[in-house]
Amino acid sequence: MTKTLVIAEKPSVAQDIVRALTPVAGKFDKHDEHFENDQYVVTSAVGHLVEIQAPEEFDVKRGKWSFANLPVIPPHFDLKPVDKTKTRLNAVVKQAKRKDVTQLVNACDAGREGELIFRLIEQYAGGKTGLNKPVRRLWLQSMTPQAIRDGFDSLRTEKQMQGLADAARSRSEADWLVGINGTRAMTAFNSRDGGFFLTTVGRVQTPTLSVVVEREEQIRKFVSRDYWEVHASFLAEAGHYPGKWFDPAWKKANAPLLPNGEPDPEQRADRIWNERDALAIAQAARGKPASVTEESKPTTQASPQLFDLTSLQREANSRFGFSAKTTLALAQSLYERHKALTYPRTDSRALPEDYLPVVKQTMGMLATSGMRHLAPFAQQAIDQNYVKPSKRIFDNAKVSDHFAIIPTLQAPSGLSEAEQRLYDFVVRRFLSVFFPSAEYQVTTRVSTVAQAGKNYAFRSDGKVLVKPGWLAIYGKEAVSDDDEKDGKNLVPVKPGEMVLAETVDTKGLKTRPPARYSEATLLGAMEGAGKTIDDEELREAMQEKGLGTPATRAATIEGLIAEKYMLREGRELIPTAKAFQLMTLLRGLGVEELSKAELTGEWEYKLAQMEKGSLSRDAFMREIAAMTEHIVKKAKEYDRDTVPGDYTTLATPCPNCGGVVKENYRRYGCTGKSGTGEDACGFSFGKSPAGRTFEVAEAEALLRDKHIGPLEGFRSKAGWPFTSEIVLKYDEEAKNWKLEFDFGDDKNEDSGEIIDFSEQDTVGPCPICGAPVFEHGSNYVCEKSVPTQAQPTPSCTFKTGKIILQQPVERAQMEKLLATGKTDLLDKFVSMRTRRAFKAFLTWNAEEGKVTFEFAPREGGSKFPPRKTFGKAAPAGKTAAAKKVAAKKAPAAKKAPAEKKAPRKTGAGLKPSDALAAVIGNEPVARTEVVKKLWDYIKANGLQDAKDKRSINADAKLKPVFGKDQVTMFELAGIVGKHLTAP
């Protein structure tokens, strides 16, 4: 019997399909990676299982960061498995290759990305010859069982889906071509003068960065202006109320323009641009009677729409300070692990029209849940029949691949605090969208003082909540008549009553620059990027799309931060010097299209044409190839000395001649005392040594102090990150100053020179001897561990670096360690072995006599279960597979209690010889401890040879142990063994 293989995009969808088909196709058997009955095999991907890559013969391995091998435009693309999901891919491919499977159904999400996920899996499974099995398309916008069954009754043909498939592949390949070639070309350009300066660009990443840089440029260029407002307090029979002067005749269209002819965005009806006029208005109105006109009308406010991912990320950032990445991770956990929310990676804020019964069931679940603060509102929605058909909520036309994020029918338990907050947030929004609108009474009152033929108008606004409606879910109540919350409830004024302008005062203010982007506002800018495009067709093509997708926007922001294009300070996102340098480069090279949302708009317009069959895939890809060649050509052929841009002049003069130091694209250089460059002395230093670009403040500090750091973010020529200090040193040969890395080798540390700490404040007490600890070169050292006037011969060994595994150890952290024995949790350590970043505390280990790492314990309520770890390495010659087989064959054995395990043969409890005991004591000791104790003795007595640190000189106590006057450090372990015996 032949079967049909159904491939869904996610395991949860596969389960929904099985549940829907069971009544009509029979019961399914559950296997590890699939479900199966007599008619169907149902399995799923977990998002993208396969990604595109250049074929082996076109894959540049050596010299890929140079212009020599650019552009890279392969004639076709090969596929490679995504590393994290290879097991799942193999399981899906195995089912696709079954001989009894004669047809495939693409049940991935209904959209371009879902089409691509399936097509790449199908291509990978077929290899060079192809699967040669017919494919049908399941197109679902609703996941109710009936909708799924209806979808199977009307499967689409492969021909119907060809346009969408072409568009999906074209977008993927175009992103690869622009991203790879753009990044390599800009990196090659920036690395021309030596070193390695990774400069990443991308169709979504770079326009997003451009938005942030443009805002920062506006902030930097903003010139604050003084303005005044006039505020009054009016006395009526019923009491006081406030008012603010305004010009009733003011219209935005008639407002004064800026000198460049542009509208002035700072103009307002209530702003006065000189103090004299403001004082005159206050003087004329103060203490005078005023007539009152008033307009009062009811207004309503509906609940915001249901959440899609971007709106959830924006509001969670504003409300809780969660990053977009954190919100996505929490929502994903609530979806995958707790089954409490629907699929979060959605750009829709509506529900399918057939979801009304599911919503009513969800209300029932919430009404009986343990959430006492929200359950009554769910019950109210049921009792009052609030859940009704509404195009605002239920609209198939507004449902894309997925519908809005709402709670599922499963009440969650065991949520972390952050997960609970986000779940409550979604539940409140879900409840509120079905509740009645909030009702307000809005009052606009104008109090007019008539004086000397002039009228001075003051506006007062009141807004009173009459019926809270959906706002009750957020704790808002109706405001009573005598309640003046927020100053919005104005005291009443009788018809015809004259009031008195009792006090009238001016208030001096300054215009403020636009606010920096937060993640919330940047997500909004990415989502609405298409609205800023002038071209109507391109704007239409980007409608409701924006830059990136809801699923990728958080990763784009995190990627920009990881590449040091942006910094996150509190909730603000601040572009770095590297970001400004990239924008300067793209403008200077004439490839600004890489930084514009129009590029996405143009692609979306053409991909939409392709989906309709009016543009061929070949034509589109030829255009992309031409664009790629243009970008590389522009970068390769640029031959001017510098790239034009808006550059700064440093305040500190040239250390060599006292001239003016100015910035250009690549360097900070002396332009002579004239500032024109004619009398320049030749002093300069690179803006981006080892791929890290100086901020202007850092360049200023380096020039002023001749030293800065330690700084992170440098990259070696091999691409490894490192941390270093930077110094300006005078070069006698060149007779000028030059920039050097200072890794704190402390070459003069052992020179025997007397060190003076008299002008330093101590960092804290030495944990070994209690003497003061000071900063010295690249280390924190005990005063008694170096030669000083008071003690020329060192007697202590305490020394620890200011940089440990690339983690700068700030003075405040060292003060804390010396005071309490432990720093805060530090998060920038990088393993020498794996090159991976890790977090740890630094602690003082008294037993080992040194600073060591302490790792934070996993919390029981952590977001995900701990990873499996393996305590022992596999025996030599045994692979993991061999061990698995052996484990299956071996009979089960009871685990011995940990304390009864045979001790490791480390020499624990060995007795030292008399000669050794004279140095380390005569207590039984482990071999490893002996070596540590010997080293403590050697260091404390300064027995390392001054010329060769690897050699140890024997004193009277050590000579009987060594048997000679000098040994090398490598001989110690062998010598120790001869002096240890079993007790």
The one-letter code for the residue type at 195 is G
Rounded CA-CA distance 728/724 in Å is 13
**Burial class (CB within 10 angstroms; exposed 0-12, middle 13-18, buried 19+) of 305:** middle
The answer to whether the CB of 289 falls within 8 A of the CB of 499 is yes
Contacts of 341 (CB under 8 A, 6+ apart): 331, 334, 335, 405, 406, 407, 408, 423, 426
| Angle at 881 (CA atoms; ends 879, 885), nearest 5 degrees | 115
Q: Is 343 a catalytic residue?
A: yes
Rounded CA-CA distance 621/616 in Å is 9
Question: What is the three-class DSSP state of 773?
Answer: strand
Rounded CA-CA distance 470/449 in Å is 41
Could you write out the DSSP letters of every residue in 403-422?
--B-B-SSPP-S--HHHHHH
The pair phi, psi for residue 657, each rounded to 5°, is -130, -5
Distances in Å between the alpha carbon of 513 and those of 516, 572, 758?
9, 14, 47
Residue 609: in which H helix or E strand, if any? helix 597-612
Distances in Å between the alpha carbon of 232 and those of 240, 241, 283?
10, 9, 11
Distances in Å between the alpha carbon of 341 and those of 11, 550, 770, 860?
15, 16, 57, 22
Token couple for 588 = 């200077």
Token couple for 422 = 């986000």
Residue 81: in which H helix or E strand, if any? strand 78-81
The pair phi, psi for residue 262, each rounded to 5°, is -80, 155
Token couple for 601 = 């708009």
The pair phi, psi for residue 435, each rounded to 5°, is -80, 160
Rounded CA-CA distance 342/344 in Å is 6
Long-range own/partner contacts, residues 724-729 (CB < 8 A, 24 or more apart):
724/690, 724/803, 725/778, 726/689, 726/702, 728/655, 728/685, 728/702, 728/703
**CB environment 524-540: b (16+ within 10 A), e (fewer):** bbbbebbeebeeeebbe
The answer to whether the CB of 115 falls within 8 A of the CB of 168 is yes
Contacts of 587 (CB under 8 A, 6+ apart): 595, 644, 645
Question: What is the three-class DSSP state of 192?
Answer: coil
Token couple for 651 = 């305040």
Contacts of 234 (CB under 8 A, 6+ apart): 240, 241, 242, 243, 290, 447, 458, 460, 499, 500, 501, 502
Catalytic residue among 241, 343, 355, 780: 343
Token couple for 514 = 């636009």
Distances in Å between the alpha carbon of 338 and those of 325, 408, 423, 863?
19, 10, 11, 11
What are the residue numbers of the active site?
Answer: 343
